[in-house]
Amino acid sequence: MDSPVLLYDTTLRDGTQGENINFSAEDKVKIALRLDDIGIHYIEGGWPGSNPRDRRFFELARDLPLKQAQMTAFGSTRRPGTQPEEDSNVAALLESQTPVVTIFGKTWDLHVEQVMENTLVENLAMIRDTVHYLKQNNREVIYDAEHFFDGYRKNPAYALDTVRAAIEGGADTIVLCDTNGGSLPFHVEPAVVEVQRLLNENGAVQLGIHTHNDCGLAVANAIVAVNAGATMVQGTINGYGERCGNADLNSIIPILCLKMKRNSLSAENLAKLKKLSRFVSETANLVPINSRPFVGRSAFAHKGGIHVSAIMKVPRAYEHIDPQLVGNKRRVLVSDLSGKSNVEYKAKEMGITLGANGFSSREIVSRIKDLEEKGYQFDVADGSFKILVEKFTDQFKPLFDLESFRVVIEKDKDRPCGAHATIKIAVDQRREITAAEGMGPVSALDNALRKALDQFFPEVNTMRLVDFKVRVIDGREGTAAKVRVFIESRDQDEIWSTIGVSEDIIEASWQALADSFHYKLAKETKPAETEGSR
């Protein structure tokens, strides 16, 4: 088994350059602790010389009880015509008090001469001087060779000279950066081999790789670099980053550990990967991408009946790894493409007994296909599917019943639309009537139902809606067309999806909303006692 590859996370710096991503200093602290818990070796916290938020983060980070990770500050080489000790950005790196400092310098002569309007000689001195100064101040120094692969293709001799300058300054690690994300694997490999040859001539300097995803090849390029000799990989959780993002550590880590046998994380920590991905998504306030490899909700989802029949016998027939190794789980979807194997698998997974009332899995498949013909889509609505099968098999025990609701929408010329909902429900023959306002009719209905149920089931307060979608099923009917409403909900333990279909958008929304609350309450205990029931 080859030696482990060091994992360098830059979610807190490069990741925040992605569109719609913004972490507070306190958010960064929470993420840093989770990165350390999973076993990341280096955590790049930010650029302390660029903004007050990052300076505050490094102040907070000094007291973090990190178990393994080395906190790292990021910055640039000194400015042209100055000395490192005179440069405020370099001073900020030292003031951050991190044991590791990462600096970047220019490798591509185009950037040196046409963007910076600098000389090639002075650029080399900037790299050498800054690395040397930081080493004199007892820092581990990682040198990021920015635009290395572009520079190497255009002027390989000068690109290698910049790497030599960092080595001469005393850099501990040289990281080759595909900053524009335009390199292909067959560009990356020979360049890495050449730099590795140079490093072998200069003692114990490590080689790292930093790739961007503008060609969709960030992970592939990083893996090619490791195969060619790199022993450090930089990336971000969920691939967050500027433009198309950075190399996604959620993919790189299991590939290293499971496919290449480079055990960068323990098996115990690898199993935390999906939860880490979800935590970072939640902190960034971004909806997780279902199709994300390894950790996505759809990564191990099976829809075709033949596939499901096979995985029930031999899971590796259609799964490249055991999903539990990365903290994920197998999902079987039910749709008009399904066979009885899908239904039987899902029923077992959900704890539903089939056949007790004469309803076989084949009959359930037939009913589901009829409903999907009418517009339902159960492969994206596990919650509604569970309730549907329980109804078919007489196992559904609703903890509340709707008696009626009324929704009123008001609009005047000076204010946007507002909505008000009144709802009457029954719980164990006790009635509750409540009213609530909302930003729209569904919001008002959700608030009213939540308010009514709270009298009996306080646990509804741990549940919230995270997605709401409306789709017109067939637009040829115009405003009389059927609509499909899809709702995704979550609590502290789980995410589930429900669906409703009707010509009336409020009716479809109610179906999906009611299923969502039924699903949540079925997971919990019996209704809490109220004063009226004592």
Model pLDDT for residues 435-471, shown as the tens digit of each residue: 999 888 999 999 999 999 998 999 998 888 888 888 8
Cα distances (angstroms) measured from residue 13 to each of 124, 145, 414:
25, 17, 44
User: Both tokens of residue 239?
Assistant: 């691939």
Q: Is the pLDDT reported for residue 530 higher than 70?
A: no
Confidence of residue 5 (pLDDT cuts 50, 70, 90): very high
Domain covering 6-265 assigned CATH 3.20.20.70 in the classification? yes
Strand order in the sheet with 415-427: 401-412, 415-427, 430-438
Least confident interval from 16-20, 87-91, 367-371: 367-371
Indicate the domain borders of the chain: 6-265, 301-379, 401-533
Mean per-residue pLDDT, 296-324:
82
Minimal CA–CA distance to 73: which of 60, 86, 92? 92
Report the relative pairing of strands 100-106 and 70-76 from DSSP bridges: parallel
Helix (H, G, I), strand (E, B) or coil at 330: coil
> E strands within 85-151?
100-106, 140-146
Please, which contacts does 293-300 make with residues 24 or more away whose CB atoms are closer than 8 Å? 293/248, 293/250, 293/251, 294/250, 294/251, 294/254, 294/321, 294/326, 294/328, 295/250, 295/326, 295/327, 295/328, 296/328, 297/331, 297/495, 298/331, 299/323, 299/328, 300/328, 300/329, 300/330, 300/331
Q: Which residues are CB-neighbours of 30 under 8 A, at least 6 positions away?
A: 283
Kindly state the percentage of the chain with pLDDT values over 90: 64
Can you give 415-471 as a three-state secondary structure string? EEEEEEEEEEEEECCEEEEEEEEECCHHHHHHHHHHHHHCCCCHHHHHCEEEEEEEE
Residue 317 DSSP symbol: G
pLDDT of residue 277: 95
Write the DSSP symbol of residue 316. G
Nearest CA among 527, 469, 525, 471 for reference residue 498: 469
User: Region 1-5: what's the mean pLDDT?
Assistant: 79
The pLDDT score that the predictor gives to residue 495 is 84
DSSP letters, 197-239, are HHHHTTSS-EEEEEEB-TTS-HHHHHHHHHHTT--EEEEBGGG
- The single-letter code of the amino acid at 364 is I
Take residue 331 and report the two structure tokens written for it: 């999902």
Distance CA 488, CA 493 (A): 14
Q: Over the stretch 172-188, which tens digit does the pLDDT of each residue have?
A: 999 999 999 999 999 99
Per-residue pLDDT tens for 264-283? 999 999 999 999 998 999 88
pLDDT given for residue 375 in this prediction:
79
Q: What is the mean pLDDT of the chain?
A: 89
Model confidence at 204, pLDDT cuts 50, 70, 90, reads confident
Q: 37-75 in b/e burial notation, b at 16+ Cβ within 10 A?
A: ebbbbbbbbbbbbeeebbbbbbeebeeeeeeebbbbbbb
Cβ count within 10 A of residue 458 = 12
The whole-number pLDDT of residue 304 equals: 67
Report pLDDT digits (tens) over 380-417: 678 888 888 888 888 888 999 999 999 999 887 777 78
Q: Are strands 331-332 and 401-412 parallel, antiparallel or unpaired?
A: unpaired
User: What distance in Å separates the CA atoms of residue 239 and residue 91, rounded to the nearest whole number?
Assistant: 30
> Residue 259's pLDDT is what?
96
Q: Is the pLDDT reported for residue 528 higher than 60?
A: no
The residues near 95 (Cβ < 8 Å, ≥ 6 apart) are 48
Say if residue 274 is exposed, middle or buried (CB neighbours under 10 Å; 0-12, 13-18, 19+): buried
Which residues contact residue 47 at a Cβ distance below 8 angstroms, ignoring those fewer than 6 apart? 13, 54, 73, 74, 75
Contacts (Cβ under 8 Å, ≥6 apart) of 224: 185, 188, 189, 192
The reported pLDDT for the residue numbered 382 is 82
Is 50 exceeded by the pLDDT of residue 365?
A: yes
67-126 pLDDT tens trace: 999 999 999 999 999 999 999 999 999 999 999 999 999 999 999 999 999 999 999 999
For residue 360, the model assigns a pLDDT of 65
Please, which pLDDT band fits residue 356 given cuts at 50, 70 and 90?
low
In what order do the strands lie in the sheet containing 464-472?
Answer: 464-472, 483-490, 495-502
Burial per residue of 105-117, b for 16 or more beta-carbon CB atoms within 10 angstroms, e otherwise: bbbbbebbeeeee
User: CA 290, 293, 299: angle at the middle one, nearest 5?
Assistant: 55
Tokens 């109804």 belong to which residue? 391
Q: Which residues, other chains included, contact 403 with Cβ-Cβ below 8 Å and sequence gap of 6+?
A: 424, 425, 426, 431
Q: Which has the closest alpha carbon to 133: 176, 103, 175?
A: 103
Q: Tell me the three state secondary structure of residue 527.
A: coil
Superfamily covering domain 401-533: Alpha-isopropylmalate synthase LeuA, regulatory domain (3.30.160.270)
| The pair of three-digit structure tokens given for residue 180, joined into one six-digit string | 């524009």
Q: What percent of the chain has pLDDT over 70?
A: 92
